[in-house]
Structure 1
Amino acid sequence: MAEVSLTNISKAFGKTQAVDDITMTIEDGAFVVLLGPTGAGKTTTLRLISGLEKLDSGTVKIGGRDVGGDTPAQRDVAMVFQQYSLYPHLTVRDNLAFPLRSPILKTPEDVITEKVNKIAEVLQIPHKLGNKATELSGGEMQRVSIGRALVRDPSIYLMDEPLSSLDAKLRADLRVELKRIHADLGSTLLYVTHDQIEAMTMASHIGVLEEGRLVQYGTPKEIYEDPRSVYVAGRLGLPRINILPVSLFPGDHKGTQIGLRPENIRQGDGIEATVIRAEHLGDHTRLHLDLQGHAITTLTDPHQAYAPNTTIKINPQSPLYFDASGARVV
């Protein structure tokens, strides 16, 4: 594995600036997630690192070496795509072995057998090695797709939303698997997603992208608790953070907007809000409120009943403040 360093990298497609002056270091052994909506520049960043797209400006270094002039094969990266990209006529064993049989790697067959068996155990599919790819479930096919990258020993693994086409249970299962695999292999991994749960549960560090720019980089805890903007605050947390005018709450406040995580709204005193509906989710209740025409979501005691149109009092705890442009006010 190797450290990957991006310095002022940019890429435009016509008039669209897909990646805009990104500087970031992916440390050796880190699990870094790029988080952002469609069009934020996540996939383009991966393609610039892999060499599938050519930089307009900036440098990409892998293991301290500038790879700007290298082909994708010379960069020694392994990429997992959103679609499975398996060879349907080949068995699982041969799909996994395929990258190792390339003319560049020239891996001996005994080594190929050893690596394929090891990765099949890691992915918990050794009993499927003799099956054709067409005989697998969606989750098994994605495991094989991930396994085709893992059989190699590249400088970095690049994963482009590999779980997005799976159902919720499979996504949850494979999130756990990927984190375990990362821990077992000690690999360097850059993972792209728009799913904040994937980012929060798997990443050692998160890079939040907005319109091609890296707007914040840090641990999941840092970004959740100390976001630099309303945009970043809204990328993490379910239910999403409540952004409200500070004028709704008495007292002295900084900025013009107040940000309240659902867990940071207390009941019992404060200002009056009206219950719109309650969603009972087992271990907690999600309470939807109206506060002087503004919608608020908070979390509350699962054992208490809340009838619609009931009036309760709420009080903000540990609020975040933002100015009119959405920038954080410290």
Structure 2
Amino acid sequence: MAEVILRNVTKTFGTHTALDDVSMTIPDGSFVVLLGPTGAGKTTTLRMVSGLDTPNSGEIFIGGMSVQGLTPAQRNVAMVFQQYSLYPHLSVRQNLEFPLKSPLLKTPQKTIDEKVNAIAEVLQISHKLDNKATALSGGEMQRVSIGRALVRNPQIYLMDEPLSSLDAKLRADLRVELKNIQAKSGATLLYVTHDQIEAMTMATHIGVLEEGRLVQFGSPREVYEAPVSVYAATRLGQPRINVLPAKLFAGAPDKAQSIGLRPENIVQGAGEDALVTRVEHLGDQTRLHLTFKQHNLVTVTDPHTGFRGGETIKIQPDKPLFFDAAGMRIA
């Protein structure tokens, strides 16, 4: 595996700037997740690293070597797209074997069989190995697509929302398995997702992209607890962070225009009155939807709470985040 460095990478398509002077270091053996809405530049970043697209300016290094002008094969990367990209006329086993049968690798058949069987078991497709790819469900095809990357030993794995087409249970299972595989193998992995649960549970580092710019890069905890802006703060957290006018609460810094309160950072039982408008019981927690000085907010409370809609409770902020008029964090 290898360290990957993007240095001042810019990519434009006509008049649209997809990546704007992005610099980022993906440490060797790390699991880096890119977060951001559609159009933020996540997939473009993957395509830059893979060699499928070429930057207008800037450089990319893999394993300490500039990869400018190298093809995806020469870069030795493995990529999993949202689309399945399988060979329909081949069986599942043949699709999984295909990368290992490259003349460049010269992998012994015994090693191929061992790798294919091990990955098929992890991805719960052992019973489908002799089926044609066209006979699989969408979720099964995506698992084969993931498996075809995992059987290899590339310098970096590049994954573009690989779990998005799977059902909730399998998605949760594969989150655990992917993280285990990455941790045990020491693989370097760059992963794109809209799912913040995937980001929080799998990533060693998170890169937050906004309109082609990298606005924050750090551990999941750092991005969650110390976001650099309102935008970065809203990328993580379920329920989302409450962003309210700073003047609603006493003690805001002079330049603060807004206050950010994570749902778990709203203390109940002290402070000022808020009206409970809705109660959501979710098993492991209960969400309270509140109206406070004509502003809506959400907090969490004990799963066995007796609160009901229409009640009044007292609340006050704990560990608030303050932001200026531009939405940037005030330390």
- TM-score range, shorter-chain basis? over 0.9
Matched, 1:325 2:321: no
Q: Tell me by how many angstroms 1:125 deviates.
A: 3.0
Q: In the aligned structure 2, how far is the partner of 1:105 from the partner of 1:211? A: 39
Structure 1 stretch displaced more, 36-45 or 248-257? 248-257
Cross-structure match for 2:250: 250
Q: Tell me by how many angstroms 1:51 deviates.
A: 0.6
Unaligned runs of 5+ in 1: none
Structure-to-structure mapping, 1:167-186, within 5 angstroms: 167-186=167-186
Q: In the aligned structure 1, how far is the partner of 2:285 from the partner of 2:126? A: 40
Matched, 1:278 2:313: no
Cross-structure match for 2:269: 268
Matched, 1:312 2:313: yes
Q: In the aligned structure 2, how far is the partner of 1:123 from the partner of 1:166? A: 12
Cross-structure match for 2:226: 226
Structure-to-structure mapping, 1:139-158, within 5 angstroms: 139-158=139-158
Cα shift readout 1:113-145 (whole Å, capped 9, x = no counterpart): 333233324434333322222333433322211
Cα shift readout 1:61-120 (whole Å, capped 9, x = no counterpart): 010010011111111000001121222221111000112233444544444333323332
Cross-structure match for 2:89: 89
Structure-to-structure mapping, 1:105-144, within 5 angstroms: 105-144=105-144
Cα shift readout 1:231-275 (whole Å, capped 9, x = no counterpart): 000000000000111111134535121110000001112111111
Structure 1 stretch displaced more, 209-218 or 142-151? 142-151
- Check 1:114–1:301 CA distance in 2 against 1; reply closer, same or farther (3 A cut): closer
Are the aligned partners of 1:9 and 1:55 in contact in 2 as well (CA < 8 Å)?
A: yes
Are the aligned partners of 1:122 and 1:181 in contact in 2 as well (CA < 8 Å)?
A: no
Are the aligned partners of 1:206 and 1:217 in contact in 2 as well (CA < 8 Å)?
A: yes
Q: In the aligned structure 2, how far is the partner of 1:60 from the partner of 1:327? A: 29
Cα shift readout 1:285-315 (whole Å, capped 9, x = no counterpart): 1000111221100001222222322221111
Structure 1 stretch displaced more, 222-231 or 117-126? 117-126
Q: In the aligned structure 2, how far is the partner of 1:289 from the partner of 1:177? A: 38
Cross-structure match for 1:7: 7
Which amino acid counterpart does residue 163 of structure 1 have in structure 2?
Answer: L
Q: In the aligned structure 2, how far is the partner of 1:125 from the partner of 1:74? A: 30
Q: In the aligned structure 2, how far is the partner of 1:184 from the partner of 1:137? A: 29
SS of 1:89 mapped into structure 2: coil
RMSD: 1.5
Q: In the aligned structure 2, how far is the partner of 1:23 from the partner of 1:252? A: 34
- TM-score of the superposition, structure 2-length normalised? 0.95
Cα shift readout 1:173-223 (whole Å, capped 9, x = no counterpart): 211121122123221100001111110011011000000011000000111
Matched, 1:71 2:71: yes
Cross-structure match for 2:100: 100
Length, aligned pairs only: 330
Which amino acid counterpart does residue 195 of structure 2 have in structure 1?
Answer: D
Structure 1 stretch displaced more, 181-190 or 199-208? 181-190
Which amino acid counterpart does residue 209 of structure 1 have in structure 2?
Answer: L
- Check 1:40–1:115 CA distance in 2 against 1; reply closer, same or farther (3 A cut): same
Which amino acid counterpart does residue 294 of structure 2 have in structure 1?
Answer: G
Unaligned runs of 5+ in 2: none
SS of 1:312 mapped into structure 2: strand
Report percent identity of matched pairs: 70
- Check 1:30–1:252 CA distance in 2 against 1; reply closer, same or farther (3 A cut): closer
